[in-house]
Amino acid sequence: MLIIASSNGAIGIDQAMNALKNGGSALDAVETGIRLVEANPAEHSVGYNGYPNIVGELELDASIMDGRSLNTGAVALMRGFPYAISVARQVLERALPHVLLAGAGAERFAREIDAEQWEEMLTEEIQAVWRDRLEDVGARGLIARQADDGLELRDEAPLLDWVKLTTDPERVLGTVNFIAIDSAGDIASGVSTSGWAWKYPGRIGDSPIIGAGNYADNRIGACACTGMGEMAIRAGTARSLVLYLKTGLSLDAAARRAMEDLRDLAGDYIGGMNLIALDKDGGHIGLSSRAGGSYIFQTEDMDSFQEREREVVTIPMRWAGEART
């Protein structure tokens, strides 16, 4: 039994391993671990108290994949339900003829299955960070007006140009990844995120897109991504890595190849990317486009997780067409 996760999964990995030790499946472990991250108010890239979009709304994306069957469930743009991973799992479990529900439809589905719903998804502190960001770029007057009880959004606000100013490459990174192998050798992977801080409303990242931010196949292995989701969507990163493994490459070579595909992307917005991956035999790896990153792992005979440095495939960052360090 093995669990690997992005380092912000530290809060959930022990309980995820307990789920496996108590006979739970890889899907159970992934859901258990991610739920604890989604509920963590100190984590601003996932679930409750994540950074909101440019109009101050928290829109959540998540997906989960069962490596036995390649069945998946995913939700995108979901508001008001903190445990996006559990709603995604129910999309999988309820044998719908769909794999991805977004926006009002995802929220309707969440209500129908009695998913936990919270009135308040953002603390005052994060609402203040959002307001400060708007003020920093002078957007406040344009997209919102001062009302008696705070900011009131203008319905007709032109967001197209302002979103380029308010998006923040330093707050693009984030998202939680969990991948587990259970006692039967079955693999599952899951990803949950609140997406970019200050994103355009309706923007969907790689996390709910199977093959981009998440992929698991019992016969081969699994991969999950954090970082700038647009890049993982364009390169089909998670599925690419698993396919590179399938062609016979080692885990290290397959992971490097997937990162090199990201490095070779053209365009004006190239940010940081990270991935974790494992093969069906329990080998595991983490890579990042920048030095200093780590991921965590735990096997059934370990009392707690260990942290391991991610290998680096440098991807020079460009933002609005300009080189960034």
Which residues of this chain interact with ligand GLY, rule CB under 6 A? 175, 193, 195-196, 205-207, 213, 226-229
Q: Please state, in angstroms and rounded to a whole number, the distance separating the CA atoms of residues 73 and 86.
A: 10
Tokens 């967001």 found at:
159
Q: Which is nearer to ligand GLY, 40 or 193 (CB)?
A: 193
Q: Which is nearer to ligand GLY, 2 or 60 (CB)?
A: 60
Q: How far is the CB of 174 from ligand GLY (least distance, A)?
A: 7
Q: Please state, in angstroms and rounded to a whole number, the distance separating the CA atoms of residues 95 and 145.
A: 45
How wide is the angle at C-alpha 234 spanned by C-alphas 102 and 206, nearest 5°? 35
Q: Please state, in angstroms and rounded to a whole number, the distance separating the CA atoms of residues 8 and 267.
A: 29
Q: Which is nearer to ligand GLY, 12 or 227 (CB)?
A: 227
Q: Is 175 a catalytic residue?
A: yes
Q: How far is the CB of 44 from ligand GLY (least distance, A)?
A: 13
Assigned token pair, 271: 């940010």
Q: Which is nearer to ligand GLY, 196 or 297 (CB)?
A: 196
Q: How far is the CB of 127 from ligand GLY (least distance, A)?
A: 20
Residue 274 · residue 286 · CB < 8 Å: yes
Q: 311-312 and 284-288 as β-strands: parallel, antiparallel, unpaired?
A: parallel
Q: Please state, in angstroms and rounded to a whole number, the distance separating the CA atoms of residues 124 and 134.
A: 15
Assigned token pair, 233: 């969507």
Q: Which is nearer to ligand GLY, 1 or 5 (CB)?
A: 5
Q: How far is the CB of 206 from ligand GLY (least distance, A)?
A: 5
Q: How far is the CB of 193 from ligand GLY (least distance, A)?
A: 4
Q: Identify the burial level of 34 via C-beta atoms within 10 angstroms of its C-beta, where 0-12 means exposed, 13-18 middle and 19 or more buried.
A: buried
Task: Please name which of 208, 176, 180 lies closest in space to residue 67, comparing C-alpha atoms.
Answer: 180
Q: State residue 82 phi and psi, 5-degree precision.
A: -70, -30
Exactly one of 166, 167, 175, 226 is catalytic; which is it?
A: 175
**Catalytic sites, residue numbers:** 175
